[in-house]
A and B are shown apart, each in its own frame.
Chain A
Amino acid sequence: MGSRSSGETMFKILHAEFLAPGIKRFVIEAPRIARKQRPGQFVILRIYEEGERIPLTIEQSDPERGTINLVVQSLGKTTNLLNSLGSGDSILDVVGPLGKPSEIEKFGTVVVMGGGVGTAMAYPTAAALKRAGNRVLSIVGARSKELVILERELRAVSDALMITTDDGTYADKGFVTDKLRQLIDNGTRIDLVLAIGPIPMMRAVADMTRKEGIRTIVSLNPIMIDGTGMCGGCRVLVDGKSQFACVDGPEFDAHRIDFAVLVQRNGMYRTAEQKSMGDFQHDREALLEKIHAEQAAECALPGGGR
């Protein structure tokens, strides 16, 4: 470990597989987190010494095996780098479970909506809501057929599953809000909507349900650093007041969120993020080689690895 002033352990990737192009599921050894995780919570990870810290919602965990699952979509440098790693590789730091768990109780009929990779985050909550005795109607949306994920898993915990693709290559052409509109227009009694996905999707759902007076929960993913309420970088405007997504969320009442401010703040580092991504595409192989070499050195030390 030399003079690195961190702890002794890295977090081993036991298994990794692509669920769809650019969307990968990881099974990671993290016994302490696995023991405590509940649906809706997240981890913050840092892949290597020079890496940034990013939050990722935990898809599910296995307390017996001591593992957590993460489903990651390649977006910027860090997620692309993570999705370049596989079984046998390690992640330098994983901390959690962070944030408040989803509110799970018997609401009645709950519509669970997942947009893109958000489906993976909606799935564990849908399962928990089903176990709590709710009627669960799930709506999943993706850009096209190959990006529809967790269909089988979600179907197993849903009373009904509706799927939309933007381009109509699978199931119904359209957006998840079209399906929600149909449910509302058919007179379906909806006690709660849970929507997890890209901000425009969550915002569109919130706009629709606000008019109908249907309580709606969204899971937010603003820029974060520590994840423990220390930095305030992830503050979101809720009813005009600052709340921290890391400790007060990540789930919030969609009708009280200022989505415009969320979009604005998430764009704060766009220029730097684009530079990072450009550099990464250029130096991808060299960076991977460096990370592999560092991990090998780490594991060779007594007390290193797991």
Chain B
Amino acid sequence: MTQTANKSPNPLSLKERMKVPRQPMLEQPPLLRATNFKEVNLGYSEELARQEALRCLECAKPACVTDCPVGVKVKEFVELIVAGDFMAAAAKIREDNVLPAITGRVCPQEDHCEGGCLMGKKVQPLGIGYLERFVADYEQRHMDLRNVKKASPSGKKVAIVGSGPSGLTAAGDLVQKGHEVHVFEALHELGGVLVYGIPEFRLPKQIIREQIDYMRAMGVEFETNVVVGKTVTINELMEEEGYDAVFIGTGAGAPQFMGIPGEHLNGVYSANEFLTRINLMHAYEFPKYDEPMLDFRGKDVAVIGGGNTALDAIRSALRLGARKAYVLYRRSEAEMPARAEEVKHAKQEGIEFHMLTAPIEFLSEGNGWLSAARCIRMELGEPDASGRRRPVPVEGSEFDLPLAVAVIAIGTSANPLIQSTTPGLETNKRNYIQADPMTQRTSRRGVFAGGDIVTGSATVILAMGAGRRAAKSIHEYLSSGQW
């Protein structure tokens, strides 16, 4: 028995811990949840959480911590769960992660903390995401926002452009250093992609509101309905409104289409539009909400793409009453970038996966509405620039798939609004903002950038990592005045 284990509150020997099975997440049954937009996962009970926490091997060099883009002290917060001090566990997570209830739900844990977990090499990895979610939800139920501490003012002002994961993270870290932080959001609701992109069944809006209320309690100020680049420019923020530094975290934002015939047909959507209608505008609650949606009942729907956005879209279509719901992906399942749990959930719900399939044309019966997608089969060739095997069309394999709605979820590109209105802000060939990968500094003094607008489409947690690095570097810049 190691020294660490001796000091630990965990009563089990390492051998005994290995024998405890990974505790299952309680979830809505697949056939029930496929008819509603309520959250799929229901969360751990205190008992389940403590049982799961007991499985932690308390490694001397925990890979879960080093593999986390924001460096959450996993081993320490899990020990606090074992000890039964859930509020202390929450505080421990908050030292590194200002959005624990969100990351606990949407992080691809298998690529980060759980991917490196030693338990996973032998049996199943520790349920770190489930534990993080449990702790964050427990905190939400038991805390009093009036007790949230405010740092003493530094006298410096920082503007954060965009209220998505990178912006919120940077804002949270900076306000704790005493800087006056003002977040500008283009839409009418705060949260960026968390609000317009991720559906209620995966990340309830109430969770985002609670995280934002916590940030308000820390002193962060928010202003919606401001499109930086249109309503106000970066230069005006710095020269006229007195901001000492600006962080740009606007996300990638612009939808990519396929450039194939028929994309203008009624019934063909970008994933951004489809999900924004549903999530931000509540079109699934029409007519209680005014934003309309097509009637999906009895219709066949396909999404094109293999990422989380694609699965969010097709699972939403299913919940709107689609008869058949397909995922069309040009590579094989092994290459799908979606979170493992979402793939599992989607299959349980009855989504049909058609791998190695790509549309080449959207067809209509002449009335302007989509009637089918002409598809082609693919096979995998040599690895491409992304390291994944390149899909190659199989000649003569075309077939028509009848569809009423198709949602294109093949990624996003850089929205040029800020780049084109900020002189001296350097961009790369694809028009993403150039920023140092360690400091997130751009070519403009006092201007920092991070998240998808720098890297292209990535994940919530990677954007949060960038927000965190930016906050550290902004604080250094504001403290030293050195660029």
Residues of A within 8 A of B (CB): 3-9, 32-33, 36, 46, 50-53, 77-78, 92-98, 225-233, 235, 237, 242, 247, 258, 261, 264-265, 267-269, 271-273, 275-276, 279
Given A225-B277, A232-B255, list of 14 further CB < 8 A pairs? A3-B206, A5-B212, A6-B190, A7-B223, A36-B232, A52-B290, A77-B290, A92-B188, A228-B253, A232-B272, A235-B264, A247-B417, A261-B368, A276-B290
Q: Are B273 and A231 closer than 8 Å at their CB atoms?
A: yes
State whether A94 and B225 are in contact (beta carbons under 8 Å apart), knowing that A5-B189, A229-B415 are contacts in the complex: yes
Task: Report yes or no: B185 in contact with A268, Cβ–Cβ below 8 A.
Answer: no
Q: How far is the CA of A230 from the CA of B273 in the complex (A)?
A: 8
Q: Which of B205, B206, B286 has the most CB of A within 10 A?
A: B286
Which residues does chain B contribute within 8 Å of A78, judged by CB atoms?
Answer: 290
- Which A residues are in CB contact (< 8 Å) with B425? none
Of B226, B263, B287, the contact of A242 (CB 8 Å cutoff):
B263
The answer on a CB contact under 8 Å between A276 and B287 is yes
The complex places the Cα of A93 from the Cα of B263 at a distance, in Å, of: 31
Chain B interface size, as a band, is 35 or more
12 A-B interface contacts by CB (under 8 A):
A6-B188, A7-B188, A46-B188, A50-B282, A51-B289, A95-B186, A95-B225, A227-B227, A228-B186, A228-B227, A229-B415, A242-B257
Q: Shortest Cβ distance from B59 into chain A, in angstroms?
A: 38
Q: Are A242 and B264 closer than 8 Å at their CB atoms? A: yes
For residue B332, CB closer than 8 A to chain A, the reply is: no
Q: How long is the Cα–Cα vector from A229 to B251 in the complex, in angstroms?
A: 12
Report yes or no: A36 in contact with B230, Cβ–Cβ below 8 A.
Answer: yes
Docked Cα-Cα span, A286 to B263, in Å, equals 41
Contacts of B415 in A (CB 8 A): 228-230
The answer to whether A268 and B253 have CB atoms under 8 Å apart is: no
| B273–A225 touching, CB < 8 Å | yes
B276 touches A231 (CB 8 A): yes
B28 part of interface (Cβ distance < 8 Å): no
Task: Kindly list chain A residues whose C-beta atoms are within 8 Å of the C-beta of B276.
Answer: 225-226, 230-231
B141 at the interface (CB under 8 A from A): no
Q: Is the CB of B222 within 8 A of A4?
A: no
User: Which of these, A51, A53, A97, A233, contacts B273 with CB under 8 Å?
Assistant: A233
CB of B187 within 8 Å of the partner chain: yes
CA distance A50 to B205 in the complex (A): 15
Shortest CB–CB separation between residue B269 and chain A, in angstroms? Answer: 8
Bound-complex Cα distance A3 to B266 (A): 36
Quick check: A32 and B273 within 8 Å, CB to CB?
A: no
Q: B209 near A: Cβ within 8 Å?
A: yes
How would residues 177 to 221 of chain B score, 1 for a CB under 8 Å from any chain A CB and 0 otherwise?
Answer: 000000001111111000110000000011011101100000000
Given contacts A3-B210, A230-B255, A272-B292, contact A32 B272 (CB under 8 A): no
Determine if A93 and B292 form an interchain contact, defined as CB atoms under 8 angstroms apart: no
Best-buried of A33, A230, A247 by chain B (most CB within 10 Å): A230
* Residue in A5, A98, A231 whose CB lies within 8 Å of B227: A98
Are A95 and B227 within 8 A (Cβ)?
yes
Q: B224 an interface residue at 8 Å Cβ cutoff?
A: yes
Q: Are B289 and A6 neighbours in the complex by a CB distance under 8 Å?
A: no
Chain B residues closer than 8 Å to A94, beta-carbon distance: 225
Asked if B295 is an interface residue, CB under 8 A from chain A, the answer is yes
Expressed in whole angstroms, the minimum distance between the Cβ of B95 and any Cβ of chain A is 24
B291 CB within 8 Å of chain A: yes
Smallest Cβ-Cβ distance to A225: which chain B residue:
B276
Closest beta carbon of chain B to A195's beta carbon, Å: 22
What's the nearest-Cβ distance from chain B to residue A43, in Å? 9
Complex contacts, A275 vs chain B, CB 8 Å: 287
B288 and A50 contacting across the interface, CB-CB below 8 Å: yes
Indicate if the CB atoms of A50 and B290 lie closer than 8 Å.
Answer: yes
Asked whether, in the complex, the Cβ of B231 is within 8 Å of the Cβ of A33, the reply is: yes
A275 closest partner in B (C-beta): B287
Question: Does B270 lie within 8 Å of A231, measured CB to CB?
Answer: yes
Q: CB distance A97 to B225 under 8 Å?
A: no
Q: In the complex, are the beta carbons of A5 and B191 less than 8 A apart?
A: yes
Contact with A along B249-280 (1 / 0, CB 8 A): 00001110100000110100110110011001
The 3 closest A-B pairs by CB, nearest first: A272-B292, A7-B224, A264-B368
Nearest chain A CB to B213's CB is how many angstroms away? 6
Are B225 and A237 closer than 8 Å at their CB atoms? no
Q: Give Cα A151 to B266, complex, Å.
A: 38
Complex alpha-carbon distance, A77 and B208, angstroms: 30
Interface contact A51-B290, CB-CB below 8 Å: yes
Give the docked Cα–Cα distance between A276 and B210 (Å).
Answer: 32
Question: Cβ of B209 and Cβ of A3 under 8 Å apart?
Answer: yes
0/1 interface trace, chain B 285-321, chain A, CB 8 Å (1 if under) = 0111111111100000000000000000000000000
Chain A residues with Cβ below 8 Å from B209 are 3-5
CA distance A32 to B206 in the complex (A): 30
CB contact between B224 and one of A6, A247, A267, A273 (< 8 Å): that residue = A6
Central interface residue in A242, A269, A273, A275, by most chain B CB within 10 Å = A269
B91 lies within 8 A of chain A by Cβ: no
Quote the shortest CB–CB distance from B189 to chain A (angstroms). 5
Contact B272 A5 (CB under 8 A): no
Q: Mark B158-192, 1 if CB is under 8 A from A, else 0.
A: 00000000000000000000000000011111110
Residue B257 contacts which of A3, A232, A264 (CB distance < 8 angstroms)?
A: A232
**CA–CA, A271 to B296, complex, Å?**
13
Verify if B83 is at the interface (C-beta below 8 Å from A). no
Measured between C-beta atoms, what is the minimum distance from A99 to chain B in Å? 9
**Closest B residue by C-beta to A41:** B230
Q: Complex formed: what's the CA distance from A286 to B32 in Å?
A: 34
